[in-house]
Amino acid sequence: MITTDRYLEPGIECAPRKELLADQEAQLLELVPYAYERAPLYRRVWDDAGVTPVDVRSIDDFIERVPLITKDMIREFRDRYSDRYSDPYGGLLCVDPKEITTIGSSSGTTGDPTFFPERWTESPPLPVGYMRALWEIGLRPGDSAITSSSTFRGYLHDMYSRLGVMPLMVDSWIGAWSNLMDVFERHRPAYVQIFAPFLPELNALSERYNLKSLFSSLKGVSYAGEPVPARMAARIRDEWDVEIYMYTSAGDTGVAFECGAHDGYHLWEDTVLAEHLALDGGAAAERTGVGELVCTSLDDLVAPLIRYRSDDLVRYTDDTCACGRTHARIWPVGRKGDETVIQGHSILPTEVWQIVEHLPETESGLFQIVRPERELPELRVRVGYDPAATTDLPGLDARLTSEISGRLGVPTTVELVPERELRERASVNKLPRITKS
Amino acid sequence: MTTGSTLLAASELPRASDWGLTWYPAAGSLCEYPVSWEDHERDCEWGTAMMRQAGVHDGTVVCLVSSGQHAAWTVPFAEGVRRLGGTVAFCDAWVWDANRLRTFLDRLPVHTVVGLNAIIAKALDETVGLAAALSGVAHVLPRQDALGLIDGAGDLAVGCFEMIGPAPAIRLPGDAGLRYDTAEWSLTDGRGTLAITTRGPRAHQVADVDLGIEGRVGDDGLVRFGS
């Protein structure tokens, strides 16, 4: 049953797709000439492809004619066509730099961060983009929520305040969760974000605290960056009785969150035109298959991403969700370029993950594929182990090596390191699963 | 536009009772610190005045190195930059964000860096060199723990940004000590460590709370760390 109090903006979140598409087309037809006139990267790329704004009269025209861009193209434009300071935005900027209010940036895991300039008066756009999801999780006026310790995309506390939710501004990063236990007990927060590097700490705290009781005020936690290890997800959901809402980046144009149906991550199609393209580029992917998410930001007039290849591999549907929302959903399955080829066998991090997290000493699922090159004669995996749960290091090494090589069918070398050491290699919220050394 | 429609939908909701609840260390424990909307507005007015004195104006770029839990101390400066027509670029205060700060410094005409701490300063020094990274920056207002490194990094206009209990404090280049908002707080040093008392009409009322920070308050009202 669909109830309207479930939605912050029911008229938009459950709009008929015909209306959504008409709205997208109207926004797109304004965006294309706007960007062509102002953003040097688009002018160059579209000119090279022989495309002008008058050629784009519909979404179909747009998809057929407008070229794709990549993060590397933005970086290349920034580096080649810019004197120092002249265009740090890689040819995307459509406004006078003096009009920029705040600058967030990408995580920087694949190179120097790229910039996300924002212009605003009332509230920065990123936290506003979270608000429908927070409402769906159940946050309501009078609740409190623990804010994120990370600020590289700007401060996020405003998204709570505007929903009438009190921000609890306390250190919630790696190593700080024992202090948070008192905050949970005294202030009964309804929401907190958790990330993979926190999980071993939560496991350790569960030995000393009754987390089910402490976490009973939570209406949900959100989790981003990578999949929750299966054993950990079961512990959070079943032992601690906490509902996990996964979320991910909507191709750098915003966020895509799970709803209570937990059947895909909702894109907000009044803000983004999402395409699901075959991995060889160009054509639409098979409807139920894996494709690359390509995004066009419809409500960013500062530095819009237009037909931006996210490198995110997703499954996709535009079928109406059980929650009643009509916006498209995605299921992330990995990143382009994550594939490692061992003697002709393709290996993805998710396959290693399932094996690593299966052993009690390594159940946190902390590992890296060490890959100086994409194709190698042997799979090398660096795995974090819990020293408190490990009495026989050589034995663990032998079991892991046997499990991985046996199940994946490739020769394997395992390098064991304490979890803590591996966690320290995590960046903003995730451990790079592929590393050159 | 989603931003507009979402803000409109949220405008019908009651806002949170306070701007936020945070914590600060006071002589070995953490003290709860509620910040009302009115407190926050006055803090932003003070932060704006400080940023104006730091030379921030229309189009000025300021890099802010911070953590979310320090928002009560840093947002007033970020908001000040916004009110003055400047731009704020955000970096986290963890070592892996040294490359983000380096990228900002390399790509943007950064006027002021606020909150640069020792671990990021050290990482910058070991990679590109602090003097090179910060060349062209008019003002560097680092955390106290980074001052030694930055002072030794060449001809830079260096001040300081710190959190003295609940009070944000700032020393602009050329100042003899740290300023704080004396309309809101009163700092004393009778025990050799700094103690704080609320002066303003704040949600957080404290009297002579020992912060456990070695420091002195000069006749000029400015704060100097150390004994």
**Angle formed by the axes of helices B37-53 and B71-83, nearest 10°:** 60
Contact A166 B23 (CB under 8 A): no
DSSP symbol at A284? B
Residue type, A237: R
Question: Which residue in A87, A131, A155 has the most chain B C-beta atoms within 10 A of its own C-beta, making it the best mutation to test that interface?
Answer: A155
Cα distance between residue A331 and residue A61, in whole Å: 27
Residue with tokens 């498209």: A328
Lowest mean pLDDT among A73-87, A202-216, B8-22, B72-86: A73-87
Give the pLDDT confidence score for residue A430 in this predicted structure.
67
The number of beta carbons lying within 10 Å of the beta carbon of residue A27 is 18
Which residues of chain B neighbour A88 with C-beta distances below 8 Å?
A: 107-108
On the question of pLDDT at A228 being above 90, the answer is no
Q: Which two tokens stand for residue A147?
A: 């804010």
Residue-level pLDDT at A279 = 76
What pLDDT, on the 0 to 100 scale, is given for residue A2? 47
pLDDT at B73: 98
Of B23, B89, B103, the CB nearest to A170: B23
| Lowest mean per-residue pLDDT among A15-19, A32-36, A96-100, A197-201 | A197-201
Give pLDDT, residue A83.
63
Closest CA to A351 of A407, A311, A291, A432: A407
**pLDDT tens for residues A388-436?**
888 999 999 999 999 999 999 999 999 999 988 887 776 555 678 888 8
What is this model's ipTM?
Answer: 0.97
Q: Which two tokens stand for residue B204?
A: 């957080």
Confidence band, pLDDT 50/70/90 cuts, at residue A1 = very low
Rounded to an integer, the average pLDDT of A40-56 is: 97
* pLDDT, greater one: A120 or A87: A120
Q: What is the pTM of this model?
A: 0.91
Q: Which two tokens stand for residue B150?
A: 């930055």
Which residues of chain B neighbour A115 with C-beta distances below 8 Å? 89, 107
Give the mean pLDDT of chain B: 95
Compare B28 and A385 and report the one with higher pLDDT. Answer: A385
Are the C-beta atoms of A397 and A262 separated by less than 8 Å? no
A299, two tokens: 């409500």
Whether residue A85 has pLDDT greater than 80: no
* DSSP class per residue in A356-386: HTTSGGGTT--EEEE-SSSEESSEEEEEEE-
pLDDT at position A276 over 90 = yes
Position A79 scores a pLDDT of 85
Number of inter-chain CB pairs under 8 A, A vs B? 172
Nearest to B9 among A9, A157, A167 (CB): A9
Whether B34 and chain A come into contact, CB under 8 Å, resolves to no
Across the interface, whether the CB atoms of B71 and A148 are under 8 A apart is answered no
Closest by alpha carbon to A17, among A250, A257, A269, A260?
Answer: A269
A158/B1: higher pLDDT: A158
* A132-152 pLDDT per residue, tens: 999 999 999 999 999 999 999
Residues of A in contact with B36 (CB under 8 A): none
Buried b or exposed e, range B139-167, using 16+ CB within 10 angstroms = bbbbbbebbebbeebeebbbbbbbbbbbb
> How confident is the model at residue A229, as a pLDDT?
78
Structure confidence at residue A86 as a pLDDT band (50, 70, 90) = low
3-state secondary structure of A141: coil
Residue B152 has pLDDT above 90, yes or no: no
- Is residue B125 over pLDDT 60? yes
- Are residues A141 and B16, on separate chains, in Cβ contact within 8 Å? yes
- CA gap A148, A157 in Å, rounded: 8
In whole numbers, what is the pLDDT of chain A averaged over residues? 91
Q: Report yes or no: A349 and A365 within 8 Å, Cβ to Cβ.
A: no
Helix (H, G, I), strand (E, B) or coil at A349: helix
- List the single residue in B14, B22, B106 with the smallest CB-CB distance to A141: B14
- Which DSSP state fits A235? I
Q: Name the nearest CA neighbour of A367 among A436, A432, A437.
A: A432
Please judge whether A162 and B78 are an interchain contact, meaning their C-beta atoms are less than 8 angstroms apart: no
Is there a contact between B68 and A157 if contact means CB atoms under 8 Å apart? yes
| pLDDT tens per residue across span B68-110 | 999 999 999 999 999 999 999 999 999 889 999 999 999 999 9
